[in-house]
Amino acid sequence: MWTITFLGTSGSVPTRNRGMPAIALKTEKEIILLDCGEGTQRQMIISKTSYMKVKRIFISHMHADHFFGLPTLIQTMSLFGREEKLEIYGPQKIEEEMDKLFSVGHPIIDFEVESFSVSDGEKISFGEYSMEFIEVDHSVPTLAVKIKGKDKPGRLKVEKLLDLGIKPGPIYARIKRGEDFYYNGMLIRSRDFLGPPKKGPTIVYSGDTRPMEEMIDFSRKAHLLIHEATFPDEEADKAYESYHTTPSQAIEIAKEAGVKALALTHISPRNKSLERREEDYKKEFPSLIIAKDLMKLWIAGEEISYEDISHTR
């Protein structure tokens, strides 16, 4: 099961109820942060998200609302004795930007932090999941990311194996690993003894962007598309001018891409009509989720569920 915690859901500036952009994605073993706006550390404490489990951080772009939570978070990790390396992925020149950011004042960072600039179309596998990047249409170099969990082998057809006289043991493990091999002179093809594989979850996160055609293919059939909705529909022209998206534009992409669920975030204080029009939007796209700070969302198999645990301030 993967858990997504919305740590901050505002855009550009914070509000009383929405902090700066940050999302924690918890896979089976670790946490990936998607952007790390100011206040992320505190939101992690409040939502009980362990920052020591954070292994990788994706920074969509270098606008101030998306990364100024990094220095204190990293220094706290160090204060608490972290030794494991931390990796930061982001757009071009992120290495230099992070070097500069982490050298302001008198920082104490006693573990390795490595930054990697990635580019359009790049895909990296990390065992448990892969990350794929696409360049999006914003005013500065900006990336969206697709995180895909590894498929898991289907259920072992135990009865069929027993019928052939193959008893539980190391052979079963080889079949589960997908190996083909001879056993007592008999060719064992794993796929004959396994049910359909369980597909890993696919999540797409697009930080700031204009709506773009390429996002449809990029998020095709994803379990969850997390898309920005900075401006209200009434201000589509302003959204375009400032390289942002409106709720209806994001819904259009989600529909075309056939994603299972769409979560709207990066909701600017000027997008006042979004929550008022929630029911209308849900008629367009029933599995729409309007992200709130501290909301959690779970993906297990094909099931997506969420609970609104926003605190009332």
Nearest to 236 by CA among 273, 263, 265: 273
**DSSP state, 282?**
H
> Is residue 64 at the binding interface for a copy of itself, with CB under 8 A as the rule?
yes
Question: Residues 35, 65, 137, 208: which is the catalytic one?
Answer: 65
CB contact set of 57 (below 8 Å; sequence gap of 6+): 32, 33, 36, 70, 86, 87, 88, 89
**Which range of residues in 97-105, 187-195, 243-251, 278-286 is near a copy of itself by CB under 8 A?**
97-105
Do 111 and 78 form a contact (C-beta atoms < 8 A)? yes
> Is residue 39 at the binding interface for a copy of itself, with CB under 8 A as the rule?
yes
> Is residue 313 at the binding interface for a copy of itself, with CB under 8 A as the rule?
yes
Q: What are residue 116's phi and psi, to 5 degrees?
A: -135, 120
Number of residues that bind a copy of itself (CB under 8 A): 38
**Would you call 237 a catalytic residue per the annotation?**
no
Q: How far apart are CA 216 and CA 233, in angstroms?
A: 20
Burial readout 254-264 (b: 16 or more C-beta within 10 A, e: otherwise): beebebbbbbb
> Is residue 72 at the binding interface for a copy of itself, with CB under 8 A as the rule?
yes
| Closest distance of CB 114 from a copy of itself, Å | 18
Taking the least distance from each CB to a copy of itself, the nearer of 100 and 283 is 100
Nearest to 253 by CA among 199, 211, 291, 222: 211
> In one letter, which amino acid is 45?
I
> Is residue 132 at the binding interface for a copy of itself, with CB under 8 A as the rule?
no
> In one letter, which amino acid is 237?
D
Out of 52, 79, 158, 164, point to the residue binding a copy of itself (CB under 8 A): 79
Q: Which two tokens stand for residue 187?
A: 């060719």
Taking the least distance from each CB to a copy of itself, the nearer of 200 and 232 is 232
Taking the least distance from each CB to a copy of itself, the nearer of 2 and 89 is 89
Annotated active-site positions, please? 65
Question: Where on the chain is the footprint of a copy of itself (CB under 8 A)?
Answer: 12-16, 19-20, 38-39, 41-42, 45-46, 61-65, 67-69, 71-72, 75-76, 79, 97, 100-101, 103-107, 139-140, 311, 313
